[in-house]
Copies of this chain bind each other. A is one copy, B any other.
């Protein structure tokens, strides 16, 4: 229960092709994260899975059954909307309870479900408030709670944590992970957050411009990106791309992740000047203007005292250098 299969899904709004043939299999109980630049069609795809939007062509199958003509409520899914979509006239409790009441769930069960969800999302103090009286983050938590209480076989999350603060974000992320383990429900999750994507996903789907660029386990994408786009998209700060010709390499583009470059004050492969240093506490990002490789980013663990203007040598880890061909595909 809960497997999903998309076959050649296409969608256009008028003349704009938003999805250009999406094929995807999501196994039962899998946690699948969609990432991709803004506007690439993630929400649209999610809405198609939910049945809120019709496909222009292609098949959506849940548990092996084609569901294009099944009403959203019959698909056994729950969805958290990017814009929350709370019922403005109901208080938090009723927002969560409505779907259950509709399904004639006994009220004791409703109560316990809501108690659970609101504890998990720290919503207890607000159960009697209406959405208009909540802050942005509080609203988002209610939206998550509304999905969670329904125990669906397939969860659809559209950037559910983007308005939460760091602490809550981590908590809720862990709760969602736990939820996933406990319910063994299938989850489709759209996010912009690298950490969320990497930690939650069984598989990450990288979308771009209406097509899937690569599907794979998080570390697979990190270690073996299929092409320039995925390489640049996964990992933060972004992978450094250097013109192959400049380095005398045959590949079109050479990629090195910032964390795979070591710096040294005295010697190294590329000599450069510190342009800017970002001190994040746990790590430090240095922006170096190098003679050979141009402007590169280097990520260092912990604090590293480097003032702009300082001269440094950067050395890429040779085992961790990626090479991309003319067509953007990785060649080595």
Given A281-B234, A299-B282, residue A192 in contact with residue B169 (CB < 8 A): yes
How far apart sit A159 and B162, CA to CA, in the bound complex (Å)?
9
Q: Does A8 contact B (CB under 8 A)?
A: no
Whether the Cβ atoms of B39 and A137 lie closer than 8 Å is yes
- Flag the segment in A67-75, A235-243, A323-331 that touches B: A235-243
Q: How many monomers of this protein are in the complex?
A: 2
What is the 8 Å Cβ interface bit string for chain A, positions 173-216, against chain B (1 contact, 0 not)? 00000000000000000001111001100000000000000000
A202 to chain B, nearest CB (A): 13
Q: Does A37 contact B (CB under 8 A)?
A: yes
How far apart sit A280 and B296, CA to CA, in the bound complex (Å)?
21
Residue on B nearest A165 in the bound complex, by CB: B192
A33 to chain B, nearest CB (A): 13
Q: How large is the interface on A (under 10, 10 to 19, 20 to 34, 35 or more residues)?
A: 35 or more
- Contact residues of A between 36 and 60, Cβ < 8 Å to B: 36-39, 43
How far apart sit A219 and B283, CA to CA, in the bound complex (Å)?
11
Partner of A166, one of B164, B193, B278: B193
Q: Which residues of B contact A282 (CB under 8 A)?
A: 235-236, 257-259, 299
A47 to chain B, nearest CB (A): 11
Residue on B nearest A217 in the bound complex, by CB: B279
Q: Which residues of B contact A233 (CB under 8 A)?
A: 165-167
- Contact residues of A between 277 and 318, Cβ < 8 Å to B: 278-283, 285, 299, 301-303
Q: Does A170 contact B (CB under 8 A)?
A: yes
- Contact residues of A between 120 and 136, Cβ < 8 Å to B: 133-136
Residue on B nearest A285 in the bound complex, by CB: B199
Q: Which residues of B contact A83 (CB under 8 A)?
A: 136
Chain A residues in the interface with B (C-beta under 8 A):
13, 35-39, 43, 82-83, 133-138, 141, 159, 162-170, 192-195, 198-199, 218-219, 222-223, 232-238, 257-259, 278-283, 285, 299, 301-303
List 10 contacting pairs A-B, 8 Å CB cutoff, sorted by A: A37-B167, A38-B163, A39-B134, A165-B233, A194-B280, A198-B279, A199-B280, A219-B281, A258-B282, A259-B282
